[in-house]
Amino acid sequence: MPINTFAKVGEFGFCTTYCEPYTDYTYINDGTGHYHVASYVVDGEGQAESRPTSDNSGAPGYVQELKKGNLYLLKTPEEAGVFGPYGHDGRGVWVRTTTEDTGMLQVLFNPIPEERKLEFEVVKGSEKESLIVTAEEKRKTVVCVQSYILANDKRIDTGQFAKILPGNTVQVQLNKGSVIIIVTSERMNIDEKMGLK
């Protein structure tokens, strides 16, 4: 059974999920705060199968192997022929996550609202010691998914984040074991989206 933690950043949320060995878990990938648009596998490996229905009958769905150290966008390619009510972006699709003799630790990213577009960049301390992150027109958020980093000399541990508002810059220092994901959030008029305007 998966074990979860969830952090709401504002324009998105992220959850850390651990699937034990020999896990077989099915969920619907839908709803604001619940729709996963991307997954980074921190440790272990597994498989995600996308299907238009909750049962496992009929033709196989779209299967994605999930391996340690990789980021996966959770949408099905056009040629897979697996679509939810909104097309192939992954919303409204049933996902069956399985593991075998190895468990899997992953961080999942959920846009808020679910229609918001997010962009991702993975930076590993084993490849880069430092970088400057500048938010120009869109907000950027540095999420530490492994070990710790320094953001403007402030320590950010695993599961913590640093928001960078438009017009601001952050100097990030990484150690060899650290991994960060820089999330760029689409700007939206939320009042309009929720029908308040």
Question: Do residues 31 and 105 both lie within one domain?
Answer: yes
Question: Do residues 91 and 129 both lie within one domain?
Answer: no
197 falls within a domain: no
Among 183, 85, 81, CA closest to 138 = 183
Residue 37 belongs to domain spanning: 3-111
Write down the pTM of the prediction: 0.91
> CATH code at 103?
2.60.120.10
Question: Do residues 32 and 60 both lie within one domain?
Answer: yes
Which of 57, 84, 111 lies at the terminal end of a domain, its last residue? 111
**Kind of pairing, strands 71-73 and 12-19?**
unpaired
Condensed to tens digits (0 to 9), the pLDDT of residues 19-53 reads 999 999 999 999 998 999 999 999 999 999 998 88
Per-residue confidence of the chain (197 residues) as pLDDT tens digits? 577 899 999 899 999 999 999 999 999 999 998 999 999 999 999 999 998 887 766 667 889 999 999 999 988 777 777 877 887 788 989 999 999 999 999 999 999 999 999 999 999 999 999 999 999 999 999 999 999 999 999 999 999 999 999 999 999 999 999 999 999 999 887 656 555 55
What pLDDT does residue 56 have? 65
What pLDDT does residue 190 have? 60
Question: Do residues 55 and 127 both lie within one domain?
Answer: no
From residue 128, how far is each of 20, 45, 193 by CA, in Å? 31, 25, 39
Question: Do residues 131 and 147 both lie within one domain?
Answer: yes
Which of 111, 144, 160 lies at the terminal end of a domain, its last residue? 111
What pLDDT does residue 191 have? 52
Which of 46, 78, 111 lies at the terminal end of a domain, its last residue? 111
